[in-house]
Structure 1
Amino acid sequence: MYWNERAVSGATHALTDDDIAAGQSGVTVAWNYIAEAGDGVIPVSYTVTSKSADKPVRRSFDTQVQV
């Protein structure tokens, strides 16, 4: 997960069958990342990887979050 283009330490999540069925998942962003970026519109994105080393990493498009 990236908050304002900065990788958020510890903001990882392994998808479960329930996440996939629900069509959504979530992670928590520590307050220090939010405070450091300040108020305004903040770009947020994430990467998707596979347990298999031969699969590429994919990064999402930015979602603009109003803080």
Structure 2
Amino acid sequence: MTDHINFRCPCCHGSQFRTSNYDVTEKNPFGAKCIFCKTPMVTLDNISHYMASKAPQTELYK
């Protein structure tokens, strides 16, 4: 189900993730977490909303 969704980590900007039923929450409905820093992943279509509301302003692509 998550094979065609593009995720991005809001902290380290990684795109590799793992999914787990134990990590499913209202804010993380797919249970996807970054394999590097263990932060819940966000989809690319709502990362701008996440960055504007919570994360410090950083450059998404370097």
Common fold: TM-score over 0.5? no
- TM-score using structure 2 length: 0.29
- TM-score using structure 1 length: 0.28
Max Rg structure: 1
- The structure that is strand-richer by fraction is 1
